[in-house]
Amino acid sequence: MKLKYYFAAAVIAASALVSAVILGWVEGNAATLAALSLPLFLIGTAAAWFLDALDRRLSDLSQTARSLAAPTRAQAAELARTDDSVTVIARSLDGVQQRMTELQTRFEQQRAIAEHAPDAMWVLHVESGTVADVNQSFVDLCGIPREQIIGVTPRVFGPRLQADGTPSADFLRTLIQHSLAGERVITTCTLLTGNGERVACEVRAAKLPSLPGRTLLGGTIIDISDRLAAERLAADRLAFEALISRLSTEMITYDSRQIDEGIAHALEEVGRLMQADRCTVWLYQDAGQTMRGSHEWHAPDVAAPRDYTEPTSIGHFAWTQSFLQRGEIVNVARVSDLPDEADHERRLWAESGIKSIVLVPLRPPPSVPGVVSFEWIDRERVWPPELVFLLTVFGEMVSNLLSRQVVERELARQRETLERSIAELTRSNSELQRFAYAASHDLQEPLRAISGFSDLLTRRYKGRIDATADEYLDFVRDAAGRMRGMITHLLDYSRIDASPRPFEVCDLTAVLSLALANLHASIEELDARIDHDPLPSVMGDPSQLLQLLQNLISNAIKFHSDAPPHVRIECRREGDQWCIAVRDNGIGIRHEDAERIFEVFKRLHAADRYPGSGIGLSVCKRIIERHRGQIRAWPNEDGVGTTLSFTLPVRSGTADAIA
């Protein structure tokens, strides 16, 4: 330390001491003087040391300044490198500034995108449990100003309970917990808007990058009311279609006794699905001037049912009828909003407590037989237009069921009348058969007497009186013979159903052989030729089948032409029937006589030319009908002869090969 600084310090201390004495601070007190001198000395020493150090530092700085004023070559190079580094740093700082500007611009762009996004977006500050930020779509969805949203708890945007009954506070707590656990939460909730409206929403939430002490969650919230409504509509449509399909299947199986119960059941099913309070089927009467209810269903909580069966004038519903008669459904969501033209309907429905109503015509025009009404009492219901078509289908189903009921009732009435007629005809026919049998049997005795006495007269008096008497006796004998034949055939005809034998297996080939044996004399006399196909075995009465074939072949031989008789018996199978045809080359018949020849006592030719009773083919028809077959006749295509064809059922459970 330099001496000048010690001297300066001593001067300062002495000056301070003299000043203290002059000011009277020590007043000759030696102790005080000594106590004051020591600090002053120390202060002076310290001041001298500080001044010396300051002087040395200033010297160093001066030397450094001189060095800098005339740098060496190495120092100059180092300074150049330092300038380059500074330039690089400056450029880096410019790049950082530019990057910061870009990031700021991108942030503002993303902020603008989020602000104008169609989905409502939100950010939640977890520690405070308040909303940190939202976009404009969130503001529009809630209907609350942004400044009233930021900084408040999300619980104010929800009702006390969610749609599933969960408290909104518990719902929010669970959402935060799952999001903080790293899950991407997607769930539904109910949002309470500023005007108190409840909105079904879908919420998506996730944890956002956050700073310590500032944990953020973010996500979107979307109004899904329209989507849920569309899903409910689709579900309702599927349920309604399934119900209509099931009801249509059930209605097919109803008989006339079940139709009323079936319509009532269908009204209940559809009414419950539509959540209606009352459903009624109205039928028009008196040429469309009145209508009366035929069926009705009402919900259990609806008041006692009205007397819907009383006729009601259509004039009270002129406005609705103008639509229904055109086949259009009347869908009134709010009765109070009906136009002035429907004033009468509005007053009547309002008096009945009806708030909403749907009227469905039972059938498309031009003939609409009635209408089905679906009513909502003391509450309004908007029936979706998309489901109107299904109501039309239901109306037509009910109409078809009612029409079928009318037809089946008429058929039942006609069936009952027919059964009574059949019973009466059966009784009458049975009496006629008994009468014919008794009459034929009783007529044989006087006929035998007539024949016997006529033969006796002929033997005794023929040729003794005159030619006229002989001719009369011949007439009596011929008439008695024809009468005997008619009675025999009449007895045969009456015995077909009077005393039937049980059916058994019959070999038609064997039956045909027996019939040909019985007709052997006629066949030989007329030189007739009989050909036949192999014939099957059938179930039947062998004696009646013998009579059938014998009568048909006998007729074919009897009604011959100039050529020798040729009879051909053909057989073929048609499904479950054997078709057997007897074809001849005789005189034939006309088309218009093909049905008449099967009538009892019907003759197409004189008895003197072709003898017979006129009952043979009638007997054949009765035999075929008893065997559940059919018989018919027609002239041959070549104009020569006639074909008579009959059918017999194929034996069930067998191969029925032709023998």
* Mean pLDDT (whole number) for 625-632: 90
In a domain, 483, yes or no: yes
State the burial class of residue 51 (Cβ atoms within 10 Å of its Cβ: 0-12, 13-18, 19+): middle
Regarding whether 636 and 505 lie in a shared domain, the answer is: yes
Regarding whether 282 and 384 lie in a shared domain, the answer is: yes
- Per-residue pLDDT band at 315 (split at 50, 70, 90): confident
In a domain, 428, yes or no: no
Taking residue 600's Cβ as centre, other Cβ atoms within 10 Å add up to 15
In a domain, 106, yes or no: no
CATH no. for residue 284? 3.30.450.40
Most confident stretch, 255-259, 452-456, 507-511, 618-622: 507-511
Q: How far is 554 from 612, CA to CA, in rounded Å?
A: 11
Regarding whether 400 and 307 lie in a shared domain, the answer is: yes
In a domain, 254, yes or no: yes
Q: Which two tokens stand for residue 427?
A: 């009784």
**Residue 580: what pLDDT?**
94
In a domain, 96, yes or no: no
Q: What residue type is 570 in one-letter code?
A: E
- Per-residue pLDDT band at 358 (split at 50, 70, 90): very high
Task: Count how many domains the chain has.
Answer: 5
Regarding whether 510 and 480 lie in a shared domain, the answer is: no
**Residue 302: what pLDDT?**
78
Regarding whether 335 and 251 lie in a shared domain, the answer is: yes
Residue where one domain finishes, among candidates 30, 45, 69? 69
**Residue 659: what pLDDT?**
47
Q: How far is 471 from 253, CA to CA, in rounded Å?
A: 75
Instruction: Put the strands of the sheet holding 642-649 in their side by side order.
Output: 529-532, 566-574, 577-583, 642-649, 631-635
Regarding whether 540 and 624 lie in a shared domain, the answer is: yes
pLDDT digits (tens, 9 = 90+) for 88-125: 666 666 666 777 777 677 667 666 777 778 889 989 99
- Nearest-CA neighbor of 529 among 559, 557, 549, 554? 557
Residue where one domain finishes, among candidates 202, 223, 244? 223
Regarding whether 211 and 240 lie in a shared domain, the answer is: no
* Mean pLDDT (whole number) for 474-492: 71
Taking residue 238's Cβ as centre, other Cβ atoms within 10 Å add up to 10
CATH no. for residue 161? 3.30.450.20
- Per-residue pLDDT band at 647 (split at 50, 70, 90): very high
- Per-residue pLDDT band at 533 (split at 50, 70, 90): very high
| Whether 160 contacts 167, CB under 8 Å | yes
In a domain, 10, yes or no: yes
| Per-chain mean pLDDT for the chain | 80
Characterize the bridge pairing of strands 504-507 and 642-649: unpaired
In a domain, 191, yes or no: yes
Residue 539 has pLDDT above 80, yes or no: yes
In a domain, 415, yes or no: no
pLDDT digits (tens, 9 = 90+) for 387-416: 877 888 888 888 888 888 888 888 888 988
Range of the domain at 216: 116-223
Residue where one domain finishes, among candidates 14, 44, 69? 69
Among all chains, which residue has been given the structure tokens 């956050």?
210
Residue 26 has pLDDT above 50, yes or no: no
Regarding whether 530 and 618 lie in a shared domain, the answer is: yes
**Residue 70: what pLDDT?**
54
Least confidently predicted of 246-255, 444-453, 565-574: 444-453
Q: Cα–Cα distances in Å, from 83 out to 53, 65, 71?
A: 33, 19, 15
Regarding whether 471 and 526 lie in a shared domain, the answer is: no
Peptide bond into 209 cis (omega under 30): no
Regarding whether 520 and 612 lie in a shared domain, the answer is: yes
Regarding whether 394 and 338 lie in a shared domain, the answer is: yes
Give the CB-side neighbour count of residue 450, counting CA atoms within 13 A: 17
Element (H, E) at 516: helix 508-518
Regarding whether 382 and 243 lie in a shared domain, the answer is: yes
